[in-house]
Amino acid sequence: MLLIDRAADIHKQEDGCSHWPKSAMKMNLFLSIIMVFVVHCSIAASVVVAVTNITVDQQALLTLKAHITDDPNNPLLSNWSSNTFFCNWIGVTCDVRETVTALNISHFDLRGTIPSQLGTLSTLQTLNLSNNQLSGTIPSSIFNISSLQILDLSNNQLSGSFPSIIFNMTSLQTIRLGKNSLSGELPGNVFDNLPNLKFLHLSGNMFEGRIPSTISKCKELQLLNFRTNSFTGEIPREIGNLTKLQEINLGYNNLQGVTCGARHRRVTALELSDTGLTGTGPPEMGNLSFLGWLSFHNNNFHSSLPEEFWNLGRLKYIRFGKNKFVGAIPSSLCYLSKLEILDLYKNMLQGHIPETIGNLPKLKRLYLDENRLSGSIPSTIFNISSLQVIDVSDNQLSGSIPSAIYNMSSLQTIDFSTNNLSGPLPSNMFSHLPSVQELYLSCNQLFGPFPSNLFLCNKLILLSVVLIIEHITDFHRWNFTEDRRSCEFEGIKLTSKQPNRAYSYRDWELDPVEDA
């Protein structure tokens, strides 16, 4: 009997789950029903939210389409139709929930205005309407999109002031509003809540007033471009706290002060052209060890060229033209082994052109014109095989044209005009200048026969020989008219008038690092 009871106990333990009390089983069933109901409600709610977002997003896009008055390439009129799913429309990107995350309809030459309804695209991360002809104002509702990371409205015809609402866009990384007609002052609090902003382009507008010091709150800022506006006052010292800056472009404003130094070691481009800066060349620039572009063009600096600049071994572009720099050109510039463009024109520099310029192996353009340089043209310059433009005009240079110019296959523009160069032109001067397009020799004391091998310069389009004609023999072959003003020969424009140079070969400017 005892054995039978023990066996029964063992059976109950092995089959314990099937012997719960009935009340526990009822509770388990009730909880299961509740869980099924909750899951069902959650799915239903998700569907409702998704349908609502789809309706809102599609309506916002259709409103934008309605605001487009001219669509020459016809992408919106033909493709943006209620007959097709809006996530498949041109320029529209959706996520897995079928809500709009990116809108890119740039470069379509669209005309019209931007509707405020775009601010209802609640999951939008990228808005790119650049390179069109959109007009009107920027809707402030756009800045209510908390998910927005990239805003590009550049190169349009937008007007009005910068939205004065208090931004609270912690996700925003790029603002590009350049090349529009925006005006007025930037609100003082515009940068208060943009902690992740990396790229800020406001160039080519009509903004005025002071640059807000609150820009220092954008600790992640890498590129600052306010070029070609009407900003005034001091450059905020607080910019000195932006240690991640790589490019500063404040050129063509009316600013004062230079705020860049040891804290900005990451800066690769500094553009302060035509800003009204005065005083001496700031030696603290020598701390910018990563600097590749440096421009103080058209200011009022009146010191000697700071020696500290020549220690910046990564420099590729130096643009100091149209200032009042004095003294000699330092021979230590030879340490700039990566230098491609050296522009020192229209200053008050004196002394000889240093022979060490010939040690700049990557130099492409050399502008030393309109200074007070004397001595001869160093023959070492013509050892630079990459040289494309040399302009040493309007100085007090003397001596003969270096014979080393013979073998310069890369040279496109040569300007030796308005100096005191003398002697005959080298007989084989044009034998190895196959790329030369413009040659200025006027206003010197050159004499002797004109080299007949000029014909080998088959790309030559302009030759200036004013005031040397009377001293050049054997020039009758060019068949000048009696007044010796101009003639055409084999497609070459020959002139005995001082050319009105627009410096087309000097038209270069900062090509800023753009965000992808």
Confidence band of 28 (pLDDT split at 50, 70, 90): low
CATH code of the domain occupying 326-500 = 3.80.10.10
Residue 410 has pLDDT above 80, yes or no: yes
Please, which residues have CB within 8 angstroms of residue 191's CB and are 6 or more apart in sequence? 167, 197, 212, 214, 215, 216, 217, 218
Instruction: Quote the mean pLDDT of the chain.
Output: 81
Residue 219 has pLDDT above 90, yes or no: yes
Q: Which one has a higher pLDDT value, 35 or 291?
A: 291
In terms of phi and psi (left: phi > 0; alpha: psi -120 to 50; beta: otherwise), the region of 74 is left
Query: What percent of the chain stands above pLDDT 90?
Result: 50
Domain boundaries, the chain: 326-500
Q: What is the mean pLDDT of residues 384-413?
A: 91
CA distance 8 to 357: 107
Confidence band of 477 (pLDDT split at 50, 70, 90): low
Q: What is residue 501's predicted lDDT score, i.e. its pLDDT? A: 47
Residue 495 has pLDDT above 80, yes or no: no
Confidence band of 482 (pLDDT split at 50, 70, 90): very low
Least confident of 148-152, 354-358, 402-406: 402-406
Q: Which one has a higher pLDDT value, 429 or 45?
A: 429
Confidence band of 22 (pLDDT split at 50, 70, 90): low
Q: What is the mean pLDDT of residues 18-34?
A: 51
Q: What is the mean pLDDT of residues 280-285?
A: 74
pLDDT tens for 298-352 read 999 888 988 888 888 999 999 999 999 999 999 999 899 999 999 999 999 999 9
Q: Which one has a higher pLDDT value, 480 or 100?
A: 100
CA distance 273 to 299: 7
Question: 19: which 2 tokens?
Answer: 């012997």
Q: What is the mean pLDDT of residues 226-236?
A: 92
Residue 208 has pLDDT above 90, yes or no: yes
Q: What is the mean pLDDT of residues 448-464?
A: 81
Q: What is residue 323's predicted lDDT score, i.e. its pLDDT? A: 94
Residue 509 has pLDDT above 70, yes or no: no
Q: What is residue 41's predicted lDDT score, i.e. its pLDDT? A: 45
Query: What percent of the chain stands above pLDDT 70?
Result: 77
Strands 100-104 vs 92-94: parallel, antiparallel or unpaired: antiparallel
pTM beyond 0.85: no
Nearest to 409, CA basis, from 370, 456, 465, 463 = 456
Single-letter amino acid, residue 458:
N
CA distance 299 to 280: 11
Residue 497 has pLDDT above 50, yes or no: no
Least confident of 46-60, 271-285, 308-322: 46-60
In terms of average pLDDT, the best of 8-12, 13-17, 191-195, 237-241 is 191-195
Q: What is residue 462's predicted lDDT score, i.e. its pLDDT? A: 83
